[in-house]
Amino acid sequence: MRGTCLFAAIAAALAVPCAAQTVAPPPSFLAPALGYCIACHQLPENIGPRTRADLGPALTGERMRTLGRTKVREIIEDPTKANPDTVMPPYGRHRILEAAEIQKLVEFLLALP
């Protein structure tokens, strides 16, 4: 009985960090006055709100990790450097987002499934 309780306690303790690791979009991803990325991009299933937005490509962790942390940050800061025709706003160059907010977005995108 004692062993079972101990196992349950350990399992519960492990479950907390696991739940904390659930990927959730930061406020700037959703807020119209901030990044509002959700207006153009869809997220993988079970991550954030479901939308039909497709002005920008759907976001996947695999694609983000292929690009790498530096490139993802550069794209958010000023996507026109890589693609002058893009419709994506230059969040860093035009000071729409602070550096810390961009960093949170980068980490979120890299953690996507």
Partner 1 sequence: MRCLSLLVAAAFVATPLAFAATPDAVRSDIAARVKEKLPDLAPSDYALGAAALDPELRARVQDNAAAAAPVVASGKALWTRKFKDGRSLSGCFPNGGRRVAQTYPQYDARLKRVITLEMAVNQCLKAHNETLYDPAEPETMGAVTAYVRSLADGQRAAVRMPAGADERFEQGRRLYFTRLGQRNFACASCHLQGAGKRYGEVPLSPPVGQTTHWPVIRDGKAVTLQARIRECLELMGAAAFPPGSEELNDLEYFLSYLSNGQALAANPYRNW
| Residues at the site binding partner 1, with contacts judged by CB under 8 A | 33-34, 38-40, 51-55, 80, 84-85, 87, 89-90, 94-96
- Shortest spacing between CB 43 and partner 1, in angstroms: 14
Q: Which is nearer to partner 1, 2 or 52 (CB)?
A: 52
- Report the SS3 class of residue 4: helix
Q: Which is nearer to partner 1, 45 or 85 (CB)?
A: 85
Which residue's CB is nearer to partner 1, number 6 or number 58? 58
The least distance separating partner 1 from the CB of residue 87, rounded to whole angstroms, comes to: 4
Interacting residues of 103 by C-beta distance below 8 A, sequence separation 6+: 73
Query: What is the rounded distance in angstroms from the CA atom of residue 83 to the CA atom of residue 50?
Result: 27
Q: CB–CB of 51/59 below 8 Å?
A: no
- In sign, the C-alpha dihedral spanning 83, 89, 92, 98 is negative
Closest CB 22 distance from partner 1, rounded Å: 25
